[in-house]
Amino acid sequence: MNRFAVVSLCTLGMVFTLVVFFTATGFAQVSTCQIEGRIVDNENKPVPFAAVILNVAKTGLTRGTSTSDKGEFRFDGLEAGKYSVTVRRVGFEQQSRKLELTIGQTTSVSFTLVPRDVETEQLEVPRPGAWAQPGLDAHALRWYSFDEGIALAQQTNKKLLIDVYTDWCTWCKKMDKEVYTNPDVKAVLQSYFIAVKLNAESPRELSYKGRRLTEMTIAREMGITGYPTTVFFDSNAEPMAKVAGYLESKEFLKVLRTIEQNH
């Protein structure tokens, strides 16, 4: 049985509850087409945490993900048509490939990245599993996939904020549009947190503490039952707290500052 500690924040006459947990405890989308791929370096070693950007030739919409520790990636639930896949990783030359997808088929693609002598570029990956209009989020908060975020949190000694969402969740989209774009919210997140998106209905596999789990399974193990839910981990990927539901910017800031001060 999970053990929980409850911390309440009383603000503006309302009570917001942080459920702090000490041990962590949907249906897969029906695909029409899929893309699966693998990225290696010039020594045939897998390249993990590479940014993979999928672009629809017809609409210009983009969707992002990152490679697993085996250098693998996958896009599901795609319509037939023409696409391009761009791969970026700090320290390597960027590569792109054009593909044409057929209904009911899985298209495989592989990349061999060439090392770059000097690399100062910082990569920004679109929200995993979501489509974005080109150029729309030039100054948006930087989001990472779950496994990439865990690695970065350990490297930077920052806490993790995990936004658990679904593609159909109206309140999730409202939080993206109205809360995560707030300058004060972005400033706190960029200073003290690594921001992660986790699709609670995605069958995409990730690495978590030596296990291969889908995003959907990870959300279930965290005890998520509603969306959006914001989960906080420390820099060692140990759970700290979770907050269910939509919060306005002022209330969300109070939650962030409470978590940030909880060492």
Which residues make up the CATH 2.60.40.1120 domain(s) of the chain?
Answer: 33-128
Q: 4-28+139-261 falls under which CATH superfamily?
A: Glutaredoxin (3.40.30.10)
Q: Give the pLDDT score at 263.
A: 59
Tokens 């609409």 found at? 59
Ranges of residues in the chain with a pLDDT under 70 are 1-31, 49, 90, 117-140, 263
Q: Give the pLDDT score at 211.
A: 82
Question: Cβ–Cβ contacts within 10 Å for residue 211, how many?
Answer: 11
pLDDT digits (tens, 9 = 90+) for 10-48: 333 334 444 444 333 333 344 478 899 999 999 999 987
Q: Give the pLDDT score at 140.
A: 64
Q: Give the pLDDT score at 262.
A: 74
- Helix ranges (DSSP H) in the chain: 146-156, 170-178, 183-192, 215-221, 249-261
pLDDT digits (tens, 9 = 90+) for 219-238: 988 888 888 999 999 988 88
How high does pLDDT run on average in the chain?
Answer: 78
Residue 111 bridge partners (DSSP):
39
What CATH number belongs to 33-128?
Answer: 2.60.40.1120
Which residues make up the CATH 3.40.30.10 domain(s) of the chain?
Answer: 4-28+139-261
The model's pTM is 0.51
Nearest by Cα to 105 from 187, 53, 32:
32
Q: Give the pLDDT score at 12.
A: 36
Q: Give the pLDDT score at 59.
A: 82
Residues 6 or more apart whose CB falls under 8 angstroms from that of 256 comprise: 161, 185, 188, 189, 192, 193
- Residue 6 and residue 68: Cα distance in Å, rounded? 34
Question: Cβ–Cβ contacts within 10 Å for residue 92, how many?
Answer: 20
CA 136 to chain centre: 18
Supply φ then ψ for residue 18, to 5 degrees.
-95, 120
